[in-house]
Structure 1
Amino acid sequence: MKLLRRPGAVSLDDRLAALGEAAGLAEGRLDAEAVARARDVVSRAGARRSLSVEHTVVALAGATGSGKSSLFNALSGTSLAGVGVTRPTTSTAQAAMWDPEGAGPLLDWLRVPHRHAVGGPDELSGLILLDLPDHDSIELAHRLEVDRLVAVVDLLVWVLDPQKYADAAVHERYLRSLGRHRDVMLVVLNQTDRLAPAAAERCVGDLRRLLDEDGLSGVPVIGTSVTKGTGIADLRATLAKRVADRRTWATRLTADAGTAADALALASAGGRDADGGPASVRDPEPGGRNATGTGLRDVDGTGARDAGGTGPWNAGGTGARDAGGVRRERGGEVPGSVEELEKRAGAAEAALDDVLARPLTAALAEAAGVPLVVAAVAKAHRHRSVAATGWPVTRWLRRFRPDPLRRLHLAGPSAGRGAETGHAGEGRTSLPPATAVQRSRMETAIRDVGTAVSGGLPEPWAAAVRRAARSMADDLADGLDKAVSATAVGARRRPRWWRVAGLLQWLLFAVMVAGIGWLSGLFALTYLRFPEPPTPTVGTVPWPTALLAGGAAAGVLVALLCRIAAALGARRRARKARKALYASVDAVGRELVLDPVRDELSRTRRFGTALTTARR
């Protein structure tokens, strides 16, 4: 059901959905009590909306002797509630129903066993009036019952009496915690017949001041006297107006959602009290403890004391407490920094790619042995170039030298198709493990990522971001090694000029061998005393000698030129390999470090958006 709302206002459905989303996003990151409270509000709202929305549940709550039961009887026109001098009189909540049809499931949900149908004016049709036990009862079960029902009823009527209307037990434990519930709350100053009219007026004024200090400005205050019937009609008329509205239940749920969102906002800001829970804001659950956890009262526990400390009344009858008593100071406001959470988290996400990725990649590349691999690529290129283009007389000696990449298991002879491209496949490398210095630099870079992007966030979210940066640190070493192993460094690609140079070397070698053969033939003829045939010359140098010397000299020259070309090619290939390896290492860094951080920042940003909606 979606309620009608003002343009621009947030519907109850949207508010509750946002609160549920915020609670889910805050799970494991913020105070568990605040998260559980938000989830409880969403769950309770779903249950309440599924029950009768034609009924308004109004609870009369108050202290011992405040006259709740008498007021209950006066409003219902019955004598259902027991009234007497023995305390506590009311032990369990009971309900008076003006229109009982359809109210059963709602009262079952409220766990109110005692139910009575009463007659009355039509304007009260739909009213369910509850008489609660005393909130300051000596029986723990009574106080727990009050706390439970105060948290779920649609409209709260606090019944106070002139003697204890300033008692810290009700203000610190209940009223101050219900700042968002001013629209579903009434305050009744009962038993005004015990005061002179002027004193009663001063009491009402002082109560108004105390409520303002509690953050409840605007809450109606009605003075009543059951004995004289004063104010009963006004109270009944006010209740009739609220019941006729048929939306008090929704207003209550809206207030509950806002209060739970405030608790999440406070937890998000890192606030904590002496009990380890949220502080600096009024406890969003009725019955929540104050900073000392005691439910503050005055010295003798009877309520407010006068300036001289002689009793519950001062000369003016205002019920002001003495200087040594605990003064009510309005709780701090919920931090508004949550409003900026989305913007700060978004800025931090941008910083991941713009600022932090490069330093992290450099540290990871060093730890992964990228410089060693790059050097090996260059050496392997020169080694293979000499083996392919060197002088045939000596190039075979290269076979006895180990290939730098094969030693690292990066381009072995069994690499199959990957060997042709310098791709190492999915095996492990033989790179030496990172040194202590390299590991320290890597850990520092990871820590710097978390620290840098979390600097502008509230501490709970900042801590979550820092944890996210380190969450997959144990997988980094294996991930980096696999990335290096799987990177195509291109070291096995044979340049075309190698084949041309190799053929040229063999041609020159053949020329040299031809010269050696020619000279050998001439030597044999001379040795055998055969006539020496005429030998052509190149200038004054015989052709056989020219072929031998020229072939050898040209082969050595070509080999030297090929070495120079190989060195240049090795530099170029090393740059490409470095670029490819850095890209692979960067991908690992993003997957195992930056992506978890980005996910956490996105979670923080979405939490801020949802919480802002829930708090409107």
Structure 2
Amino acid sequence: MSGLRDRVGALRGRRAEEEVPVDAPALAERLAALREAVALGGERLDPSAVAAAGPVLDRADERLRLGSDRTVVALAGATGSGKSSLFNALSGLPIAQVGARRPTTSVSTACVWGPEPAEELLAWLEVPRRHRTERESALDGDDEADLHGLVLLDLPDHDSTADAHRLEVDRLVRLVDLLVWVVDPQKYADDALHARYLRRLAGHDDVVLMALNQVDRLGAEDAAAAEGDLRRLLVEDGLPGADVLAVSARTGQGVPALRERLADAVAARAVALRRTAADLEQVRGALLAGTADGVVVPTAGEVPGAGELVRALGAAAGVPAVVDAVEADTRRRAARRTGWLPLRWTGRLRREPLRRLGLAPREDAGGAPGGAELVVSSVPAPTPSQRAAVDLAGRHVAAEAGRPLPERWRGAVRAAAAPAGGDVADALDRALVGVELPRPTPRWWAVAGVLQALLAAAALAGLLWLVLLGAAAWLQLPPVPVPAVGPERTDGTRVLPLPTVLLVGGLLGGLLLSAVTARVAAVTARRARRTAQERLDAAVRTVADGAVLAPVAAVLAEHERVRAGLLPGGGGRASSASGRRGRAH
């Protein structure tokens, strides 16, 4: 017994620590938070928990509306437990029919104490008018004043062979404020009672009271043993705080103590609120089991696997081909502006890299020169391997983001990470069409071009000069003095004829300048490639965010909003969830 007492004490202590003050406004706020969580969670929560929550929330809403001035107490029990006899003993009137035949009580009977209006409450309980009794009369004086506000119900037998009787018990067990289960020493451990009712009321300790009836048939030692065994069963049922009273409707033993407990409950005017709080807590626990703790809500860019997805989408959209074309186009234009003039014409034999991909330079599209804009997307369709890479990256995002979530939430993450393929392809096309690619034209290109022109002119001048000299010699005309440069010979003449210097110097100078400018142009081309990569990656990331990453992050955020609404004190549900954003690992 000491072990049982320790276990009961531990459970009561833990529940006391978790207890939230019960008042109607706080319960109304908690009810609204649960409704919002159910609506937001939808199919992602446990369907059985959602289905069970609806009627409970409706019942709580209606009970709060009816107020807590009246306390509804129900006597429930099996056939032969003596609950109708106990009902008559508490009321002091022979209201309920008493008998040994099975079943005896066929419909709920109500006894009402006090002048407070009870019509609307009894109508909600669906107690027929002919089964309602007003307890007090002028002859009672103040004898019944301590029970003013009490509505006492005698329920049908929960083990009745008539289905209608069991359904009536099931209905009212969910509606009343305080349940007094009347059991006898022979059937207090009946599994029909514990499995069908008491275990489903786990957590309702404050609104469940066990009346162990017919103890007059037992000796003191046997009665104490039965009471102790019943307390043990209650702990196993999840009701460690439920009290047990030993009574005898026949002899009156324990009836005054039970009546005093009912009077205390009526005076407190809080039993209805405690029952509602226990119901909401049970709903909250069942719904909360469909969520997970410790889920970090990332931004779209922080969703795990975002980088891999962007790279896969970029490859499928042809970004590598585009950035290669931008680099090649920059090199080609630099060669046309600064390359060796005798070979520049060969560049016209190759189609422009941007045009091969259907990317028209902006000046060709009627705009100002100096840039290129994607005006059409003719990048080849993604290959099967590229499509597979995108699918794999999307599944990786879903797997990583949904890893800490329950299965139904993981399914929602997978659905968010798997948009229609055609929609993503169209979005990528539109995004790439709007990207302006760099098409640099540095000023030094013009300077190098002028130098190339001057060197070519010098080479051409030297060539023409030599041709004229050769023609004059062929025609045996008188020799024409030719200027020379370089070191002087002993006879005073120079080593290098000027026409030869112009020709050879112009050709070699042009080749050397072309080699230098090609290296510098390569740096410019690589810079243009990086810029294009950044701009295209940004466009692809925008698509990835809108099509996959943002929907995945939204599911995680909704999960946290749902969980925040289900946690104790969940009135600040949205702000609480938004405050848990952090960097995903």
- Whether the aligned pair in 1 keeps the contact of 2:194 and 2:237 (CA below 8 Å) is yes
CA distance 1:136–1:41, change in 2 (3 Å): same
Shift of 1:378: 1.4
**Counterpart of 2:559?**
604
**1:506 Cα offset (Å):** 3.4
The code of the aligned residue for 1:162 comes to: P
Distance change in 2, residues 1:64/1:417 (3 Å)? farther
- The Cα shift of 1:180 comes to 0.7
Q: Does 1:367 find its partner at 2:324? A: no
Q: Match for 2:154 among 103, 112, 131?
A: 131
Residue identity opposite 1:431 in structure 2? V
- Which residue does 2:177 correspond to in 1? 154
**Residue range with higher mean Cα deviation, 242-251 or 159-168:** 159-168
Aligned pairs (5 A) from 1:322-471: 338=292, 341=293, 344-346=294-296, 349=298, 353=302, 356-412=305-361, 414-417=364-367, 420-424=370-374, 427=376, 429-471=377-419
The answer to whether residue 59 in structure 2 is matched with residue 36 in structure 1 is no
Contact 1:422 1:493 survives alignment (8 Å):
no
CA gap of 1:356–1:517, structure 2 versus 1, over 3 A, is same
Query: 1:16, 1:614 within 8 Å by CA — same for their partners in 2?
Result: no
CA distance in 1, matches of 2:483, 2:225: 140
Asked if the contact 1:415–1:424 (Cα under 8 Å) also holds between the matched residues in 2, the reply is no
Letter in 2 for 1:502: G
Structure-to-structure mapping, 1:158-557, within 5 angstroms: 158-196=181-219, 198-268=221-291, 338=292, 341=293, 344-346=294-296, 349=298, 353=302, 356-412=305-361, 414-417=364-367, 420-424=370-374, 427=376, 429-471=377-419, 475-490=423-438, 492-512=439-459, 536-538=483-485, 539=494, 547=502, 550-557=505-512
Give CA-to-partner distance per residue, 1:565-615, whole Å, 9 cap, x none: 322322232233223333333343333333223222223333343333169
CA separation of 1:473/1:232 partners in 2, compared to 1, >3 Å: closer, same or farther? Answer: farther
DSSP-derived class of the 1:134 partner = coil
Q: Distance in 1 between matches of 2:257 and 2:82?
A: 17
1:95–1:112 contact (8 Å) kept in structure 2: yes
Distance of 1:191 and 1:415 partners within structure 2:
100
Q: Distance in 2 between matches of 1:384 and 1:141?
A: 91
Q: 1:351–1:424: structure 2 CA closer, same or farther, 3 Å change rule?
A: closer
**TM-aligned CA deviation for residue 562 of structure 1:** 2.8
Provide the rounded CA distance (Å) in 1 between the counterparts of 2:223 and 2:569.
Answer: 41
Q: CA deviation at 1:528?
A: 9.7
CA distance in 1, matches of 2:479, 2:76: 137
Counterparts in 2 of 1:389 and 1:210: CA distance versus 1, 3 Å: same
Kept in 2, the 8 Å contact 1:52–1:106? The answer is no
Distance in 2 separating the partners of 1:533 and 1:218: 128
Conservation of the 8 A alpha-carbon contact between 1:189 and 1:204: yes
Counterpart of 1:295 in structure 2 is none
- Report the secondary structure of 2:43's partner residue: coil
Please point out which of 90, 114, 133 is paired with 1:116. 133
When the two structures are superposed, what TM-score results if normalisation uses the length of structure 2? 0.80
- Give the equivalent residue in structure 1 for 2:118: 103
Q: Secondary structure at the match of 2:436?
A: coil
Cross-structure match for 2:488:
none
2:152 alignment partner, SS class: strand
Q: For 2:402 and 2:434, locate their aligned partners in 1 and report how far apart those are by CA, in whole Å.
A: 33
CA-to-aligned-CA distance 1:255-277 (integer Å, 9 cap, x gap): 11111122123344xxxxxxxxx
Structure 2: runs of 5 or more not aligned: 1-15, 486-493, 572-585
Q: What RMSD over aligned residues (CA atoms) do the two structures have, in Å?
A: 3.5
1:86 Cα deviation after fit: 4.3
Q: Could you give the per-residue CA deviations for residues 461-513 of structure 1, whole angstroms, max 9, x where no partner exists?
A: 444434433356664333344444433331x2322222222333334444455
Counterpart residue type for residue 59 of structure 2: R
8 Å Cα contact 1:93-1:133 kept in structure 2: yes
* 8 Å contact from structure 2 (residues 38, 50) kept in 1: yes
Deviates more, 1:477-486 or 1:444-453: 477-486
| Cα pair 2:394 2:418 within 8 Å, conserved | yes
Range with greater deviation from structure 2 (233-242 or 208-217): 208-217
TM-score (norm 1): 0.77
- The code of the aligned residue for 1:227 comes to R
The question of whether the paired residues in 1 share the 8 Å contact of 2:300 and 2:545 is answered with no
Alignment partner, residue 613 of structure 1: 568
SS at match of 1:87: coil
CA separation of 1:350/1:203 partners in 2, compared to 1, >3 Å: closer, same or farther? same
Instruction: Find the residue that maps to 2:305 and give its secondary structure.
Output: helix
Question: What is the match of residue 273 of structure 1?
Answer: none
**1:59-98 matched pairs, under 5 angstroms:** 59-98=74-113
Contact 2:303 2:401 in 1 (8 A): no
